[in-house]
Structure 1
């Protein structure tokens, strides 16, 4: 007897899109009919949508410390061949930081110039923040305690890592400790540290699993977020959201086709030949929205189409799939500044510099799960005094933007491998590369 075929489940991003659209339509209907002040709407937001969105955010914040610590340590530790490969390893690290910094800088400049989140009624923004008074009060209090100027730079080095882990305002200190811990793990190659490394990798796997479970609540959370936002802001919300998506895509395109082209040209390579050779990996990255899933294709493209040495391509692309995420770093910076503009939070140059630094580190320590950058975005928002309730908007358009930034991430990995290979000595007997 034939067994009935199992019902095909909807992908998570489709469920999130459904929750996003349903929340917007319901909120716009409430806003257009002018019943957002009605008792039943107030009760619905007070006892249903707002509590659920707070629980979702609390779950995200609960997992930030173990996730970021383990992801950063593992990301640094995966460069364990830095000593063995010598110059290649250090060139990889240098270009990773440089390209990520350029990506974030492009994003921050465009957001400050185009102001995609500006123009929203400040009174409505304050009303939304009032609905999340406890969370907003906690965030604003942490910002008031943050050091300024040279004290901010000095405070990056923690005197108490446990205290740093317990405060959103000093989370950068925890990230610094994680980087130092990862470097120490690389430099101390003993059987004991290998066991410790496997334990931290296990912590990362557990954290990623839990984040995956929390993200399953995203369709309902997105409905709650978007209903609250749309019922207050109406069609202004859609205009701001469209502007945000446009700025992210523009920033990604500029970094992809301008920054990488300049870097390749300076290395004596032809950008046209590079993009022609890399197009298969770029298409795969866009369709899968996963750097890890694209890695086999990228490795083949690097060797067969770009003619890169196998030892360099395998090392750089494998490390880059985790640690060289220019698109993710850019996306996080643009998102935080957009939300700051949306809620009328004026960020100083010092705070924006802090955002940039955390985004660069976040590009190394972002978990490879759907919406893996969400905890980092929520974390940075809390650091600079922006209520993270606005991430519901980001979740609604996240899948499309994830496809775009993954394309940039994979292209960045291939660019990084090309830059590292430039100027290296001729291939040895045990190395191979296809003819360009």
Structure 2
């Protein structure tokens, strides 16, 4: 990905400096680079709905797999939503304060919007005007889930998946277990296909960066550095301010001892950029280093690998708002709150694999009328940011397990 980023950036900057208005540049962008990038986007959009639906259904249904852990599952879900909300709120505040994407020439921004791929626009097209007020609240609950999927109404689809998962949790029959197994199979297949599509990302990144750098020049580098800085700042605040407070106040443990015990899992997450790949290490750390009850640790960490992803929620929120600022798309407070809600739920439905949040980011961009092609801006440095946010995700899972375990110990004083 870094190689594709650099190739596209260097070539684009060279064209920007030497022949920005040449006719052959338009031909290359129209018939070569733009179609290649559009194919990459179409593949992502093709898989995002089955990925999110299956991930949410399986994640919710598994919370009640063992009768004795149903209470733990509810507390884990509430904790996940609250802490993810804190993470996304933090990211939105930082983006609005620091404005990493503001200041781009409006003429260039409008030109970029006008040149956005028509295929991606067609995929993300939403019939009619976006609802507001009470209509927006009602629209969250779909009256036709197939229509919601066809219209890429991601929030409505997530609500359906949440209710469907609750239904599987409540219905305990052989047929429902077969249906849950089918959802698990759909999730595994979707994750595998997403992994194959991501392998095409270096080529798509080169095409995206060529188109963007040829238009924006060195301004692109400045904005990209500002964006990465805001993401890292938000991750650091969540890691070393929010998490220590949760450990000290809710779990009544020493934050320093916690981070010392959790460092092996954190480093493994940073190296692999995959919550799923780090799960065995996280379970071992929770049981052997943090001395958490095995049944609670395994339950919370398994669910957390896909549901409790604070770093992913932060990344998605900052990325969407940064690109909205970059392309001059003004988002109202209600739109930003909608982005916040989708990012919270999107963290639950994001695959715990490298670059697993990219389909969700692309879909949210379409929801707020930001060109999905803009995702090419961040893909080049996404591997490094992915490593950082995965380290936060896994550490957050261990924080959640520690807090939930402390709550269960309060309920059972005799527990060892």
User: Is 1:210 matched with 2:193?
Assistant: yes
User: Is 1:290 matched with 2:274?
Assistant: yes
Aligned match of 1:185 in 150, 164, 168? 168
**Aligned partners of 1:143 and 1:385 also within 8 Å:** no
Distance of 1:180 and 1:82 partners within structure 2: 19
| Counterpart position of 2:147 | 163
User: Is 1:305 matched with 2:289?
Assistant: yes
Distance of 1:421 and 1:206 partners within structure 2: 33
Q: In the TM superposition, what is the alpha-carbon distance from 1:144 to its structure 2 partner? A: 5.6
Q: In the TM superposition, what is the alpha-carbon distance from 1:400 to its structure 2 partner? A: 0.3
**Aligned partners of 2:140 and 2:156 also within 8 Å:** yes
User: Is 1:402 matched with 2:389?
Assistant: no
**Aligned partners of 1:116 and 1:243 also within 8 Å:** yes
| Counterpart position of 1:221 | 204
Distance of 2:101 and 2:390 partners within structure 1: 24
| Counterpart position of 1:260 | 243
Distance of 1:390 and 1:47 partners within structure 2: 18
**Aligned partners of 2:100 and 2:230 also within 8 Å:** yes
User: Is 1:32 matched with 2:17?
Assistant: yes
Q: In the TM superposition, what is the alpha-carbon distance from 1:304 to its structure 2 partner? A: 2.2
Q: In the TM superposition, what is the alpha-carbon distance from 1:22 to its structure 2 partner? A: 0.3
**Aligned partners of 1:323 and 1:364 also within 8 Å:** yes
Q: In the TM superposition, what is the alpha-carbon distance from 1:213 to its structure 2 partner? A: 2.2
User: Is 1:352 matched with 2:325?
Assistant: no
How many equivalent pairs are there? 415
| Counterpart position of 1:319 | 303
Distance of 2:341 and 2:134 partners within structure 1: 15
Distance of 1:46 and 1:130 partners within structure 2: 13
In structure 1, runs of 5+ residues without a counterpart are: 1-15
Q: In the TM superposition, what is the alpha-carbon distance from 1:303 to its structure 2 partner? A: 1.9
Q: Single out whichever of 253-262 and 62-71 deviates more from structure 2.
A: 62-71
Q: In the TM superposition, what is the alpha-carbon distance from 1:105 to its structure 2 partner? A: 0.8
Residue deviations 1:56-92 (CA, integer Å, cap 9, x gap): 1122112222111111111212213374314322211
| Counterpart position of 1:270 | 254
Aligned match of 2:77 in 93, 96, 120? 93
Distance of 1:285 and 1:134 partners within structure 2: 38
Aligned match of 1:46 in 17, 30, 34? 30
- What TM-score, normalized by structure 2, do the two folds share? 0.95
- SS of the aligned residue for 1:22 comes to helix
Q: In the TM superposition, what is the alpha-carbon distance from 1:294 to its structure 2 partner? A: 1.6
Aligned alpha-carbon RMSD (Å): 2.0
In structure 2, runs of 5+ residues without a counterpart are: none
| Counterpart position of 1:7 | none
| Counterpart position of 2:68 | 84
Q: In the TM superposition, what is the alpha-carbon distance from 1:133 to its structure 2 partner? A: 5.5
| Counterpart position of 1:12 | none
**Aligned partners of 1:73 and 1:178 also within 8 Å:** yes
Distance of 2:225 and 2:126 partners within structure 1: 31
Distance of 2:353 and 2:79 partners within structure 1: 25
Distance of 1:132 and 1:426 partners within structure 2: 56
**Change beyond 3 A, Cα 1:369–1:290:** closer
- SS of the aligned residue for 1:425 comes to helix
Q: In the TM superposition, what is the alpha-carbon distance from 1:398 to its structure 2 partner? A: 0.8
